[in-house]
Amino acid sequence: MSEDRAADWLRLSPAVAAARAAGRPLVALESTIIAHGMPYPQNVRTAREVEALVRSLGAEPATIAVVGGFVRIGLQDDELEQLGRAGTAVHKVSRRDLPAVLANGELGATTVAATMICAALAGIEVFVTGGIGGVHRGAAQSFDISADLQELARTSVAVVCAGAKSVLDIGLTLEYLETHGVPVLSCEQDNFAAFYLRDSGFRADWRLDEPAAQARFIRAKWALGLAGGVVLSTPVPEADEMPRERIDAITAQALAAADSQGITGKAITPFLLARIEALTEGESLATNIALVKHNAAVGTRLALALALAKRAERAG
C-alpha cells in the first residue's frame, strides 16, 4: 500500500477519529495477541483492560486488525469479541499477508510487523506489544527470522515491548537489530528484557527512563531522516516475573515438542506460548497479561511525551 492510496484501505473507529480531531495522541495495539497469543476469554478481557488503561492515562487506544476488506484502526467491542472467539482460526497477518487478506475480505489479526505498517499509514507513532519477534533458536539451519525485525529496520514507529520472547535467540536478535541500525532503548533497567524474565543478560544500547528523554531520542532520529523504528524495552513487573530456572526448563520442553511435531514458520510462536501456558498451568499467561499492561502504561506515557514534543516544535 502506498501512502497516497492508504486511505482507501483504512477505516478509523469513531473513538479514534474523535481523538484525532481533538488532538489526543493515539497508541497502536496489535490484534495477534488477541487471536493467537492468549486463550478466550482472557484474550478479550485483557484487550479491553489494556484499552481502558491507555484511555485512563490520556491517550486513545487503536487496536489494529483486518476486518471486512479494510484495515481497522481501532476496533468496536463486537469486533474484539469476534477476534477473541475465533482465535487461531483468524489469519495471522504479517507484511506479505496484508494484500491477500484485504483483497479477500477476510478476518486478520496483525502481527508486530503488520501493525507497524498500518500504524505508520495511519500516522500513529507509538505501538505497544507484548514481546517482539526475532531470530529463532537454530536459525543457522532453519533461517527462521521474524519479519518483525526487518519491519523495525524500515518502518518509523516506536515499539514498546517487554523485550523479545524468551523462546528466541535474544543475542542474535539484538545483533540483527544492530546490523540494521535499529536503536534498542531500555527503561527501568540497563539490560534488555526477555518477556517472562526481566533480564535477558544482554545490555540495551541506551537506558532512558523518562518519557521526555525517550521522546527527544526518537524525535532526533526521525528529524535526521533516519527512517526505521525504535525498540523500547521495559521489564515485566518484578512481582509477576517467572522463576528463571523454571521457565528455561519449560521452554526447552516446548521447543522439543515443536521440533518433534514439525511446527515451523508463523505457527511456531503461538504453539510455544500455548505449550508453555499448559506446562506452567496458566502461570505464564498471568505473566503475559501483566507485562502487556505494564508495556501499555509505558507506551502511553511515551505517546504523550512525543505529542508534547511535536507541539513544542511547531510552536518554536
Three-class SS state of 162: coil
Which residue matches cell numbers 545483533? 175
Strands 108-110 and 60-67 turn out to be: antiparallel
Three-class SS state of 2: coil
d(CA 63, CA 51): 8
Q: Which amino acid is at 126?
A: V
Instruction: Check if 310 is active-site.
Output: no
d(CA 43, CA 69): 23
Joined grid coordinates for residue 40: 478466550
Task: Tell me the DSSP string of 202-218.
Answer: SB-SEE--SHHHHHHHH
Catalytic residue (one of 30, 60, 79, 151) = 30
Joined grid coordinates for residue 190: 540497563
Cβ atoms of 163 and 200 closer than 8 Å: yes
d(CA 33, CA 37): 4
d(CA 240, CA 131): 15
Catalytic residue (one of 92, 165, 221, 293) = 165
Instruction: Check if 151 is active-site.
Output: no
Nearest to 275 by CA among 291, 252, 293: 252
Cβ atoms of 128 and 28 closer than 8 Å: yes
Q: Which amino acid is at 108?
A: G
d(CA 110, CA 268): 16
Q: DSSP secondary-structure letter at 31?
A: S
d(CA 141, CA 53): 42
Joined grid coordinates for residue 173: 536478535
* Residues with active-site annotation: 30, 165
